[in-house]
């Protein structure tokens, strides 16, 4: 089972690889959650597409805790 630090690194690397060629600034780790059954990590990352601005875009990356494989990336909206 991967730990929270490994899950955060997997999420960051996935987002950066997927958005290769796009400007990503101020990438931050916002939230981490291990599902109750310990099967999934949910890692929320924040970033901006404009230099100098705080994070304005948020993505939740779902990672299989046993393998570290990414299963999904979804938009996280703030309420």
Which CATH number belongs to the domain containing residue 23 in this structure?
Answer: 3.10.450.630
Q: How far is CA 19 from CA 4, 56, 67, 69, in A?
A: 23, 16, 23, 18
Q: For 13, what's the count of Cα atoms within 13 Å in the CB-facing half-sphere?
A: 10
Task: Give the pLDDT mean for 48-52.
Answer: 85
| pLDDT of 77 over the 90 cut | no
Question: Residues 3-39: pLDDT tens digits?
Answer: 999 999 999 999 999 999 889 999 999 999 999 999 9
Please give the mean pLDDT across all residues of the chain.
94
Q: Output the pTM of the full model.
A: 0.91
Q: How many domains are there within the chain? A: 1
């Amino acid at each position: 089972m991967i730990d929270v630090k490994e899950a955060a690194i997997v999420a960051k690397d996935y987002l950066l690889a997927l958005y290769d060629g796009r400007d990503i600034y101020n990438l931050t780790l916002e939230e981490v959650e291990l599902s109750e059954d310990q099967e999934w990590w949910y890692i929320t990352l924040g970033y901006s597409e404009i230099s100098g601005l705080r994070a304005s875009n948020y993505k939740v990356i779902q990672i299989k805790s046993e393998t570290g494989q990414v299963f999904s990336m979804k938009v996280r909206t703030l309420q």
